[in-house]
Amino acid sequence: MNKASNKHEPFRFRLDLRSGVPVYRQIMDQVTGGIATGALNGGDQLPTVRQLAVDLSINPNTVIRAYRELEIRGVLDTQQGTGTFIGTKKVERSENERQRRLSRLVEEFLARAGSDGFAVEELINQLRALQAVSQKKGR
């Protein structure tokens, strides 16, 4: 499916149609998130527009929109006839952009957790527990 150089498992896109986040945004967020976590690296090839559209059962124009926006931002490089690749240059985000993205993630997280019946205090306790485990592992 994709030719990402991740040694464990190929990068997989997943959609949450209940999240309220537009599908093209979810694709963009997953690409940038994959880069941030190291699941995607500079030079990794992404699925073709057609392949990703088929895999996710969405309109190819949605994939085109996400890929084009990421290309404009310097995250992706598209080479005609070869494919779409993760860019090799480091993309810097402004502090305002980082805070905006963090706020959006937290709002989505709270909305989804709230719809499953979780209270904010439960979420905070769980995040602290995860932080403690991560610190013990030396992350």
CB 23 within 8 A of CB 62: yes
In angstroms, the CA 50 to CA 64 distance is 9
Q: pLDDT of 9-65, one tens digit each?
A: 678 999 998 888 899 999 999 999 898 888 999 999 999 999 999 999 999 999 999
Give the number of C-alpha atoms closer than 13 A to the C-alpha of residue 16, restricted to the C-beta side: 11
Nearest CA-CA partner of 46 in 90, 16, 12, 17: 12
% residues pLDDT > 70 (the chain): 89
* % of the chain residues with pLDDT over 90: 50
Residue 5 lies in a domain: no
Q: Looking at the chain, how many residues does it have? A: 139
Q: In the prediction, which pLDDT does 138 show?
A: 66
Closest CA to 17 of 104, 100, 112: 112
Residue 79's domain spans which residues? 23-86
Same domain, 73 and 108: no
Residue 116 lies in a domain: yes
Cβ atoms of 76 and 70 closer than 8 Å: yes
The total of structural domains in the chain comes to 2
Q: Is residue 59 part of a domain?
A: yes
Residues 104 and 55 in one domain: no
pLDDT at 9: 65
Please indicate, yes or no, if residue 44 is contained in any of the structural domains: yes
Domain boundary among 45, 62, 86: 86
Q: What is the CATH number of the domain that holds 80?
A: 1.10.10.10
Residue 8 within any structural domain of the chain: no
Is the pTM of the predicted complex or chain greater than 0.85?
no
Kindly tell me if the per-residue pLDDT of 6 is higher than 50: no
Could you tell me the two tokens for 39? 């699941």
10-25 pLDDT, tens digit per residue, is 789 999 988 888 999 9
